[in-house]
Structures are given as C-alpha cells and as structure tokens.
Amino acid sequence: MNSLFTPNVSFLVAFLAGLFSFISPCVFPLIPSYLSYISGLSVKELTGDEEASKDKPKIKFTAVKHSLMFILGFTIVFVLLGVFSSAVGSLLHSIWLMRIAGIFIIIMGLFVLGAFNKIKFLSFMNADANINIKNKPLGLIGSVLVGVVFAAAWTPCIGPILASILFIASTMHNTTAGAELLFVYAMGLAVPFFISSVSLNLFLSAFKKIRPFIKTISVISGVILIAVGILIFFNYLSIISLYFGNAFHYNIPYNG
C-alpha cells in the first residue's frame, strides 16, 4: 500500500497541483482578503503598517491559529472527496476507467491552457473565488466552517486541477490511498497559505514577483495535466510510481 513517506509520482503530482491551484489567477490575488477575513484583522495590521500592530506577536498568533483552522476546514472537504472518488473507482474497477480518467485529465489540461475559453457554458470554471459570506461565525470553529465553505467556493475556479486529482484518486481503488492523495493536494494549497499567514509581507513581496508569470504558470500546469493524463491513459503513472517506490525501498539500509 502507498505511504505518504514513500516516493510516489501521484503524490508529487497532487502536491504540485495544490501549489498551482494556490497560484491560479482566481485565488492567488485574493489571499490577503482571505487572511483578513478569517482573522478579523485588517491587511495593514497583518503587514504591521498600523500603530495597532505594535502587539505583533499577538497579531501573528491570531493570524496563524485562524489560518490553521481554515486549512483544516478545506482539508476535510478535499480528503472526503478523495475517499468518495476512490470508493466509486473501486466499484468501477476497469481498465476503461483508467482510459476515461486519462482522457478527462487531458481535456482538463487543455482547458487550463485556454483551449475552451470561447465556450460560454464553461465560463463558470474561470470565476473568481470571491468571499460571499456576509457574517463569518466567531472563533476558531468559525474559521473551520469558512474553510469548508471556501473549499466549495474554490471548486469552480480550480475545478480542472481538482477534478484531475479526483480522477487519479478514482484509479487507485483504495479509499485510504484516495484520502492520502487529496490530503497531499490540500497540503499543496495549505503550505503557501500558512506561510502567508506567518508573514503577509513575504507573500506580498512574492506576489509582486510572481504576478507577471501567473499566466505562464497556468500554462505549465496545463501541460503537466496533459502529460499526467497521457501517462494514466497508458497506465504508465502507476508503473513509474512502482519503480520509484521499489527504488526507494531498495536503497534503505536493512538493520535486521
């Protein structure tokens, strides 16, 4: 059985997919707003630009703890989606499921590349992940609930990437592996979000540098999805994962 501590190409793809989702044009620019919303602090306080921010340790602690609860919220949703996808895949165990998954992921890669931008009924997948909750529940539990809601709000925006990871989960035929895969995907989103909560100034600085390349990053993510789709279609992804897993275990010194 796959392990989070064993090199696995699928897990690497999932983590990169999470990072690409974070840097997507409809999520990346809104991160300061998310942090401000869940923590109840202004962007100026988070960046230390106000006199009220003299109590920096307290402000940073508030931002970090709420961001962790927010991360917990969307991680729960994604892991449950992974369990569901792999459970459905186990019921439909067939080489044709792998073929369908591969074709679907290739199509999603083409979508990310903009091949279907002129199709109006698919325009919702380019929508911004805006904040639509007027009154956030108070406290840490409230931040968890907002994370759950935002997981759904992000879905149209990051739909092609998330759907591709869910299709990979469906080919695993193992609910534990599906949960692990989507957990890794969530961590791809969570790590940069957490870093942003620790230092919003660092995020804003990175944003200025990365912003001109967001379109290029989207193209790279689309190309990766197409490549993964081709590998899954021909069942090469599992073969590559098995190869790396065996190589990893082979190189571990035995202390028996």
Residue with tokens 């599992």: 238
- Nearest one of 248, 226, 218 to 110, comparing CA atoms: 226
Q: What H or E segment, with its residue span, contains residue 169? A: helix 139-170
**What's residue 6's pLDDT?**
44
- Domain spans of the chain, in order of start: 9-251
Which residue's entry shows tokens 């109006």?
Answer: 120
In the chain (256 residues long), the average pLDDT of successive 10-residue segments reads 55 90 83 85 74 68 92 94 89 76 86 72 51 61 87 70 87 87 95 91 86 86 88 74 51 48
DSSP state of 122: G
Those residues whose C-beta lies under 8 Å from the C-beta of residue 141, and which sit 6 or more positions away, are: 69
Distance CA 180, CA 166 (A): 11
Distance between CA atoms of residues 112 and 26, nearest Å:
12
Quote the pTM value: 0.79
* CB atoms inside a 10 Å sphere around CB 198: 12
Q: What is the pLDDT of residue 1?
A: 45
